[in-house]
Structure 1
Amino acid sequence: MALKNVIGIDHAVVVVKDLDAAAETWKRLGFTLSPRGTHSAKMGSGNYTIMLDPDYIELLGILAETDHNVPTRNFLAQRGEGIERIAFTAIDSAAGAEEIRSHGFEPIGPIDFERPVPLPDGTISAAKFRVFQWPVAEAPGGLRIFACQHKTRETVWIPELMTHANAAKQLKQALIVTPDPAKDAAHLSRLIDCEGRSEADGAVTVASGGDRADFVFLTRDQLAARYPGVSLAGLPERGGVGLVLASHDLATTEKALGAASVRSGASIVVPPASATGTLLAFVAG
């Protein structure tokens, strides 16, 4: 990636209707979840995190309606549960915001916020962030993007939260369905100044940077061909729909997921109906 202050995918934001019910769903899939976090009154949201290495998944729910969370509420009303946003890691959010401005995109922010974090020793600390967004209208494949600077990584990547019964290790791909993969991939490429590459099946991959997960833009038919036997019921025609995760051990993954998953080619897959609107594909890695 040519951007100097923004590196690859940091986390995927899965928006859910009922935050605590969603947490129980993901726990049943063998994930270890952080204690529930509550954001500021202005943000009006709460979350659970699923910590991987070097990235994570965030389950985000609306706790109170505010001006700040209008886009998220609109997403839930129009799409339902699923991947609403993808965050990049920002080395320096203020410099990153200026960097995308120099590329012709007016940033939103940066803004600072924090949430309380219960630590394993029983004390309470805080997770502190500085974030900025690309313009809301700049959503390639219907997926909003932003960048997150972690000011207190030690209160987010807590070792006790990083081991999962399903052997999840890290994110490998974020899957975005679209009728026009090439067009939407090119849109993302412009936003992050990174070229895409065409795949044999017609999908287009855009690297997010470094050793972080890739973005993969593909049609719904191409998604179905990649994961035969997996129900795609409930997925939109355009938007973020799935995450590919590396597993330490696929046999462990398959055992932990049980009847919630199906074997599809070399992947163990949880259909979106069983994971709050998000297809989860586990691969060896």
Structure 2
Amino acid sequence: MLQLDHLPFTTGDLRALTDAFQRLGFVVSPRGAYTSPETPGASWSNHSIFLRKGWLDLLHNPKAAADAGASPGGCLFLTDDLEAALGALEGLRTRPPYRLERRWREDLGLPPEAFALLEIRERISPLGLAVIAHHYPCHDTLTAWFEHTNSAEEIAGLIFGAATPGPMATRAARILDISGFHYWEAARFTAAFGAGQPQVALRVRVRSLVEAKATFHIAGIAFVETREGLHVTPPAPLACGFQFFQA
């Protein structure tokens, strides 16, 4: 069963998106960039956020409007063998695999991180899914990047409002661990995270809700507390909800 690896966010204003995540109490990596052997000469700027389990990728799209909202653009699952994963996905349509390398703009004495990935063309969830092969924790990370003031430890899944699983969800669940995908009625989602945004929220497991609340109070970020955790509508340009919970 392949576990959740990371969620990508694309933005026209990488600095503003980075600032929003920092206000939420996340440590953001230095600026880096991806290159691909399949696309010589191309480069995609990014920052990353690394947790003990799972990570977030903040990607710059120079063609996107600077004030456009940013929310998860997909969901990638981790494998140590892309060819074996492709075999397990037999019967599900996929796009051809491709490769990426990530390097930080500043030389930190760390090796580049190499990735191989493929996209799944079936509708499994409201977000498109993909499978990615690389090492985790990534070779190009520092220990300090995993220590967040909100005490976040895991990207545990997603909550979708006013949506249902796709027609291939049952088939895909034999290979991908999509048990962290939760589906809520629209009214319940709006009550927790507010209206006027895409009805998707990240589920983030934290070590301490007390530490998370202290972080949000200092940053002036409002939240709704329920028995399920802290439900946060984050600052712009983020356009998704966050559920912080303690296991």
Do both share a fold (TM > 0.5)? yes
Change in Cα spacing, 1:141 to 1:218, as seen in structure 2 (3 Å) is farther
How many pairs does the alignment contain?
239
How far has the Cα of 1:257 moved from its partner? Answer: 1.3
| Further displaced range: 91-100 or 145-154 | 145-154
Counterpart amino acid of 1:12?
Answer: L
The answer (yes or no) to whether the contact 2:111–2:140 under 8 Å persists in 1 is no
Q: C-alpha separation between the residues in 1 aligned to 2:161 and 2:208?
A: 28
Tell whether 2:16 aligns with 1:27: no
Q: 1:214 maps to which residue?
A: 180
Render the CA deviation track for 1:220-259: whole Å, top value 9, x for unaligned: 223235x2xx4232225xxxx1111111111111111122
Q: Deviations over 1:66-88 (max 9, x none)?
A: xxxxxxx6xx89x9421110010
Over the aligned positions, Cα root-mean-square deviation in angstroms equals 2.8
Cα separation, partners in 2 of 1:157 and 1:177, compared to 1, 3 Å: farther
Q: Aligned partners of 1:39, 1:154: CA distance in 2, in Å?
A: 14
Are 1:16 and 1:81, in contact at CA under 8 Å, matched by a contact in 2?
yes
Correspondence list, 1:62-211, <5 A: 62-63=61-62, 80-100=69-89, 102=90, 104-117=91-104, 122-135=108-121, 138-151=122-135, 153-179=137-163, 181=164, 184=165, 186-193=167-174, 208=177
> Distance in 1 between the 2:43 and 2:202 partners?
26
Given residue 15 of structure 1, which amino acid in structure 2 is its aligned partner? Answer: T
Q: CA deviation at 1:17?
A: 2.7
- Give the partner amino acid of 2:181: F
Distance verdict in 2 for CA 1:31–1:145, change over 3 Å: same
Partner of 2:196: 233
Contact 2:126 2:166 in 1 (8 A): no
Q: TM-score, normalised by structure 2?
A: 0.84
Specify the alignment match of 2:207 in structure 1.
Answer: 248
- Describe the SS at the equivalent of 2:49: strand
Counterpart contact for 1:90–1:148, Cα < 8 Å: yes
- Equivalent in the alignment of 2:4: 9
Q: SS where residue 168 of structure 2 aligns?
A: helix
Q: What stretches of structure 2 of length at least 5 have no aligned partner?
A: none
Identity percentage over the alignment?
19
AA of the residue aligned to 1:282 = F
Secondary structure in structure 2 of the residue aligned to 1:260: coil
Distance 1:124 1:247 in 2: 28
